[in-house]
Amino acid sequence: MYLHDKDEFSTLTLPKQSIRGVLHDLTKVSLIQCITKSGPGHAAQDGQEYCFATVFPHFVVYGTNHIGPDEKKIAKIHFATDDGTTLFYDFDAFGFLLDARPFIEEIANANAHVHGRTIVTGPNPEILYFAGKREIFAADTVLGRVFASHNPRHSSLGGPSGVGLKNTIFVTIDFGNLLAFQESVARMFTVLRFLEMVAGRRQTILGLDLETQSRQQSSTILHVYWSMGPKDDPAGGEEKPHPSDVLIDAVRQPNEFTRVLSN
């Protein structure tokens, strides 16, 4: 990552190997566990000088706030893996009606007062749904309360191109108290290794978020880019597991899944 500033700085003696900065769109960025690749150096143009360096951050945390590696602000950590829908095969969470005709008139016009017009329905309607139960399972462990949940999002708000729902299953650890960054990631890694054992192969982290709290502010979500995060081995030729292949079914065997995870 290329860094520059009008004031002189050095990346060779970083406190806690971390850097705080701001992107052009004012997103606040915290670089954690940084290694200097080149620089620092100086340059000048049109009578103006600046300092620059190139660093490799193991973690890039970005959002509306900065966070230091030792700041105990993290209340929860959320992560998604590539086999999430297999590990938590909640088949009945989403579906469609085989015969939507008895229901389409009421559903299509539920927002008529918002749109200011009546939706004209026809003889061949389709209704797709999310059943509404977000939490899939939950378990109290020594790491904190661990739970998996559905996080559906709309592909669009409507129109002739169609509409749909895309779901991502996130696993959350609610620590019960505020932790520093490294401890939060370490606990997440423990749960990840358990999920890899259940799935029968290594997992790739598809998304990683921190939920922080402070006395001055309410909860804030910070996104994390993990430069060398866990990944499955594409060269290994491992096939994606089938839901029936997992060692413990969190949806149909919640008590067994919770008991094993808790121990």
Tens digits of residue pLDDT in 150-176? 999 988 878 898 888 999 999 999 999
Is 117 within the bounds of a domain?
no
Residue 241 in tokens = 């597991």
pLDDT of the residue at 106: 94
Pair 211, 179: CB distance under 8 Å: no
**One domain, residues 174 and 237:** yes
Range of the domain at 11: 2-63
CA distances (Å), 262 to each of 135, 145, 184, in order?
18, 10, 17
Tell me whether residue 84 is exposed, middle or buried, using C-beta atoms within 10 angstroms of its C-beta: 0 to 12, 13 to 18, 19 or more. Answer: buried
Using CA atoms, how far apart are residues 86 and 171, in angstroms rounded to an integer? 13
Tens digits of residue pLDDT in 190-249? 999 999 999 999 999 999 999 999 766 688 999 999 999 888 766 566 788 999 999 999
**One domain, residues 192 and 144:** yes
pLDDT of the residue at 217: 67
**One domain, residues 205 and 244:** yes
pLDDT of the residue at 168: 97
Using CA atoms, how far apart are residues 261 and 142, in angstroms rounded to an integer? 10
pLDDT of the residue at 236: 60
**One domain, residues 23 and 55:** yes
**One domain, residues 239 and 136:** yes
pLDDT band with cut points at 50, 70 and 90 for residue 6: confident
* H helix or E strand, kind and range, residue 256: helix 254-262
Residue 209 in tokens = 């978020």
- Rounded average pLDDT over 168-190: 97
Is 147 within the bounds of a domain?
yes
Residue 191 in tokens = 């749960």
- Residue 257, φ and ψ in degrees, nearest 5: -60, -45
**One domain, residues 27 and 85:** no
Side-chain half-sphere of 22: how many Cα atoms within 13 Å?
6
Residue linked to tokens 């709290």: 213
**One domain, residues 224 and 135:** yes
Judge whether residue 59 has pLDDT over 70: yes
pLDDT of the residue at 235: 58
* H helix or E strand, kind and range, residue 9: none
Is 101 within the bounds of a domain?
no
Domain tally, the chain: 2
Tens digits of residue pLDDT in 62-102? 999 999 999 999 999 999 999 999 999 999 999 999 999 99
Tens digits of residue pLDDT in 8-28? 767 777 778 898 989 999 999
**One domain, residues 177 and 224:** yes
Average pLDDT, the chain: 91
Is 114 within the bounds of a domain?
no
Using CA atoms, how far apart are residues 41 and 18, in angstroms rounded to an integer? 19
